[in-house]
């Protein structure tokens, strides 16, 4: 029978090369996954802002990177909270004014607030003003905060509903600048007289933090007892995850997956890259 002989050696060589190619690709994927895992666990990790409790600095729909190293590492630094790190290693305490991400003491969800009180501090609210260690934190009225209304931004009852020159609906809030004794300053929103504007003084215990939202009258924070989906009480430092550092993306919530162009029109481009 006529025919070309089959070169079995060549076929075997091709199979070996193909096997090596797939093996090399699989090795690359595993190495890449390991690098991403290490990066997210020990360097930076992404988080999203799902509420308006940190207005005016952080908006609902912001996506930020949190630095993982400033406060040390724990099981909460790892994906799926794997119990591979006992306690908190390389632990460091936040400074007043830091914007921290932590696990809710009861339900374990991610929360973001600003550190106001450290262990040993006395914290109270008097007439809507923070009193730290018996001294009122400086609070200065500044220009109103105006934010466009969108799917991710609804005007609270205390907001003035307006339209800008382009006819876009906006929400206007009274805005203030607070300055801590260290000189760190930040902006807050105040709705006016509310029940939590006056609270008794609390002494922050060792290993805990007193945290508050910058949107003072729209934040479930250390002024409220810990409960699922609500207040956080005095936050254990062992629940710290990281420190907010930079906004990497922001959307007004109008994007639709089936309309790719809306991924761009919904972006708040001016917010991307803002340092926190």
Tokens of 33: 């996954």
Closest of 135, 146, 55, 45 to residue 96, by C-alpha: 135
Any bridge partners for residue 148, and if so which? Answer: 170
Residues designated catalytic: 53, 113
Tokens of 104: 């809710």
Task: Report d(CA 61, CA 255) in Å as an integer.
Answer: 11
Task: Report d(CA 69, CA 159) in Å as an integer.
Answer: 38
Task: Report d(CA 46, CA 185) in Å as an integer.
Answer: 25
Give residue 158's Cα distance to chain centre.
25
Name every residue whose Cβ is closer than 8 Å to that of residue 108 and which is 6 or more positions away in sequence. Answer: 81
């Amino acid at each position: 029978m006529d025919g070309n002989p089959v070169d079995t050696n060549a076929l075997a060589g091709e199979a070996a090369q193909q096997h090596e190619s797939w093996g090399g690709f699989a090795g690359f994927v595993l190495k890449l996954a390991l690098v991403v895992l290490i990066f997210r666990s020990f360097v930076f990790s992404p988080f999203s802002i799902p509420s308006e409790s940190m207005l005016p600095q952080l908006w609902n729909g912001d996506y930020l990177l949190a630095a993982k190293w400033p406060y040390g590492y724990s099981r909460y630094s790892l994906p799926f909270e794997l119990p591979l790190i006992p306690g908190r290693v390389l632990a460091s305490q936040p400074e007043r004014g830091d914007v921290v991400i932590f696990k809710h003491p009861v339900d374990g969800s991610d929360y973001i607030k600003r550190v106001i009180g450290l262990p040993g501090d006395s914290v109270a609210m008097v007439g809507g003003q923070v009193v730290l260690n018996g001294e009122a934190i400086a609070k200065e009225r500044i220009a109103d905060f105006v934010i466009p209304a969108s799917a991710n931004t609804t005007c609270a009852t205390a907001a003035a509903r307006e339209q800008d020159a382009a006819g876009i609906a906006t929400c206007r809030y009274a805005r203030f600048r607070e300055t801590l004794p260290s000189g760190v300053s930040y902006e807050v929103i105040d709705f006016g007289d509310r029940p939590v504007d006056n609270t008794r003084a609390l002494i922050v215990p060792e290993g805990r933090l007193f945290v508050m939202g910058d949107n003072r009258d729209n934040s479930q924070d250390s002024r409220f007892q810990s409960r699922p989906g609500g207040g956080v009480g005095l936050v254990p430092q062992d629940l710290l995850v990281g420190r907010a550092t930079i906004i990497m993306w922001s959307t007004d919530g109008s994007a639709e997956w089936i309309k790719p162009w809306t991924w761009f029109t919904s972006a708040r481009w001016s917010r991307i890259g803002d340092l926190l």
